[in-house]
Structure formats: structure tokens, C-alpha cells
Amino acid sequence: MSTIQSRIVRYGELRPCKTAFIDAHTPGSDQKENFTIIGGGVSESPDQHVHITDKIGFNIGAAGQPPKCRNSLHSHTTAEVFFVAKGRWRFFWGRYGTAGEFIAEEGDIFNIPTGIFRGFENVGQDYGMIMAILGGDDAGGGVIWAPQVIEDAQAHGLMLGDNGVLYDTKKGQDLPHNVRPMPLLTEEQLKDFPEVPVEDVVSNYVARYWDLMALSANKPAKVIGETALIKDKPGFEVDFLSRGSSVETPVKADKPVVLMPTRGHWRISIDGFETTLSVGDTALVLPGEAYSVSPSMTGEAGLYRVTSTNDPAGMTWAV
């Protein structure tokens, strides 16, 4: 069984992979970094480091990018939830990324509907970081790329096999004899990827940090869940804690719980082990462990708590 200390990952200890995805050589996307914090993630590269290998029903990861760097259009069959840890980010979606877009500031959270092509870009002034929650232990089985992304990648030396593994021709790699190129989606298949109106996305799948601060003044704000602000059942629930809704008295976890600050410093205790977390840090609490969490300093403080549920990971749930 892993120790409590080994289930705390600091922002400053995160190990990036710069070759995680097929667009790693494509101009405009070639400076992005992928982090896999808990679970296997969706990286297509054998170079990807996994910090915590426990299977808890969902994955935790992160994406770091310098200004003007973008993540190419792709889709997932399970949940992909992002909250902004550092910087300002533009999210966009649709077959060509033109169906809609919005700007997310630090602390904002976005539960991207499954089955649509989505991408994101750092539009801030400095290196930015978004934290990710991915549905399922296998994160939906990987990434589905828009056809033009695969074509652009091949033009810059990267090939994706139908086994989900990347091969870099710039390093002399070629597809193994038993592996074929990942087939492009056909025009008929592309009809299954909807162009969701921006009004629908922003109204139903986005929660803003300052609204959550207000809603959590006296009790944790339900952010993602069957009766939450964002109504979905992706195999986990997300709630938001601030100073007035911290967990002062230890509670025993029935299911895996992940604690991720988005503002301020938080003192956590897990079965008597105490430490302090700040933005970009991640802590995993296992079932049966008692934990508490509360701000360790005066000033603004916000934290996302992710709890596993019995709901199967799958397509976005509709009321």
C-alpha cells in the first residue's frame, strides 16, 4: 500500500512530457507539456511519467503551455474537466474549432461535453497551467483526433499507430510491421461529432471561480454532480471549498478523494499526517483514511475536492 507522503504531488515536483501527443512537432503546439498525476492518463508517449499509479475510477493530470501555445482539436468518450491553476486560457470547440469559445480565468472550471472536438490555448502573458480530471481508470481509452491534426502531424514527422502509440520519423522510428497508421475519421463518422452552441456550453458546463466563492461561504458548493451546478454523472463528483466551508473536523473517506487547491494555502491532515498544499499541488486520500482540510493562512482560499462515485465513466449525462 502506498504511503500518504507518496500520494502528495507538489507543483514544483511535476515531471513534464513534451512528446505526449501527436501534435508535439506541429508549429503552435510544439511547446506544450503534459503531466500525468494520478492514473494512466491519455498520453500517447512511452516517455510519460506517472506520479501516482493508483486506480481510483478517474485520472488527474495537467497541461502546461507558454503563451500562444495551443492544444489541437481532439475528443474523448469520457469526462474531461479542466480548472485553471495559472494564467488565462481560451477554450474552443467544433470540427474546426469555430463552433464556440470562451476565456477561462484562474479558478474557473469547465466540464467539456463528451463527443465534441475541443482544444485550448494559453492566451495569458506567462507560462500557464490547467489541471485536468479525466473520467474512468483508462480515461476513455485515449484521444480521438480531428483528421487535420493527424495530417499536420505526419507533415512534421510524427505518426500515430492504430495501437495508440506515437512514432517519430525524425528519430528514425517507423511503424512496426504489425501496426498500421491510425485511420482518419470518415466524413460519415464526423457527422457524429456535434457543433454545440456556445450558449449551451457556457450555461451548462462552465462554473466561474467567484460564483463558487460566493456559493461556498457556509458549506461546500456542489460543482459537478447529479444535483450540482454542472449536472453530470461522470464517475466522480466535484465540490468547491473556501474559508467558510473547510473541513475542520476529520472525516473518514468512503471512496477515493483528491484535494486540489486553486487559491491560497491549505493545511491538510490525512490519518494524522499533516502538511500544507498550495495551487498546483495534489493529494490523494484513500478509502478508510480520515482527513481534514482548512486554510493555513489568512486571505483568499479556494480548493476543489474530487470524490469517486459508483457511476460508470461514459458520455456526458443529461437530465
C-alpha cell of residue 65: 503551455
pLDDT of residue 319 exceeding 60: no
Q: Which residues contact 303 (CB under 8 A, 6 or more apart)?
A: 240, 241, 242, 259, 260, 261, 262, 263, 266, 277, 293
Q: Write down the mean pLDDT value for the chain.
A: 92
* CATH code of the domain made up of 5-205: 2.60.120.10
Owner of C-alpha cell 501527443: 21
Question: Taking 90 as the threshold, does the pLDDT of residue 139 lie above it?
Answer: no
Q: What is the dihedral of CA 62, 109, 309, 313, to 10 degrees?
A: -70
Render pLDDT for 165-221 as a digit per residue (tens, 0 to 9). Answer: 888 888 888 889 899 988 899 999 999 999 999 999 999 999 999 999 999 999 999
Q: How confident is the model at residue 306 (pLDDT cuts 50, 70, 90)?
A: very high
Residue 203 has which C-alpha cell?
450555461
Q: Tell me the average pLDDT across 107-127.
A: 96
May I ask the CATH architecture of the domain 209-308?
A: Sandwich (2.60)
Percentage of the chain lying above the pLDDT 70 cut = 97
Q: Of 22, 20, 18, which Cα lies nearest the Cα of 160?
A: 22
Residue 230 has pLDDT above 80, yes or no: yes
Residue range(s) in the chain whose domain bears CATH number 2.60.120.10: 5-205, 209-308
Which tens digits make up the pLDDT trace of 5-52? 999 999 999 998 887 777 777 877 778 899 999 997 766 677 789 999
Local structure of 7: helix, strand or coil: helix
Q: Is the pLDDT of residue 126 over 90?
A: yes
Question: Considering the entire predicted model, what is its pTM?
Answer: 0.93
* Per-residue pLDDT at 166: 84
pLDDT band for position 67 (cuts 50, 70, 90): very high
